[in-house]
Amino acid sequence: MFLKQHNVSFVEHNIDEQPEFIEQLKKDGFKATPVVKLPNGKAFSGFRPDVLKQLA
């Protein structure tokens, strides 16, 4: 919702609808969602408005 409100383009992968992404997230070390992958290749889990604001 934050990304939409700030007009940041993104691609959403819903693990309920696309369970094939679960194994990749686990392989990358994530145990919770949401996971946000940034354009620079870094990623984080959870809602991080401090980081997301840098994208807006």
- 9-41 residue pLDDT tens: 999 999 999 999 999 999 999 999 999 998 888
43's tokens = 């990623």
9's tokens = 């383009």
Dist. CA 14–CA 54, nearest whole Å? 24
Dist. CA 25–CA 3, nearest whole Å? 21
- How many other β-carbons are positioned within 10 Å of the β-carbon of residue 18? 10
- Predicted confidence at residue 56, as pLDDT, reads 81
Give the structural domain span for 41: 2-52
> What is the total count of domains within the chain?
1
